[in-house]
Amino acid sequence: MTTLQTTPPGHDVVLYDSHCRVCSGAAREMRKLVGGQGTQLLSFRDEGVLDAFPGVSFERCEKAMQLIQADGRVLEGAEAIVRALGRRPLGRLLYVYYVPGLRQLADAVYGVVARYRFRIAGRNCPDGACAVHFK
């Protein structure tokens, strides 16, 4: 599997979906844990955000949370969560993700939640344009 590389931001950047209540809640919690640790959380839906990271597409962000590491390497989904939180002392426990079998299970669960996130928790369109955004 080829690793996606984009413009190095010099610090970690997490791209999440601000129109998803599950994603927004997770981002709030993540901000509490890593916000002061050199990690920036941005909604990929905000104007100009994706322009800063060539190769990170809207479609890719629709499917999974993206972690752009300081050096420009891009990780997504469950692995992005593990890496973003892994720098915290208790976050290192998340590295059990890399145990064979557990990684596949975590990725599968993440994929199901990501795919059905709007059905699980509803949409959160601050501009009232959900009908346009989610046809």
Domains along the sequence of the chain with CATH: 4-121 (3.40.30.10)
Q: How far apart are CA 31 and CA 24, in angstroms?
A: 10
pLDDT of residue 46: 95
Residue range 23-48, pLDDT digits in tens = 999 999 998 888 677 889 999 999 99
Residue range 83-106, pLDDT digits in tens = 998 877 777 888 899 999 999 999
Residue entry with tokens 């699980």: 120
Q: What percent of the chain stands above pLDDT 70?
A: 87
Interhelix angle 102-115/77-85, nearest 10 degrees:
110
Whether pTM > 0.75 for this model: the answer is yes
Q: Coil, strand, or helix at residue 118?
A: helix
Helices (H) and strands (E) in the chain, counts: 6, 5
Residue range 107-122, pLDDT digits in tens = 999 999 998 888 887 6
pLDDT of residue 133: 46
pLDDT of residue 86: 86
Q: How far apart are CA 17 and CA 37, in angstroms?
A: 21
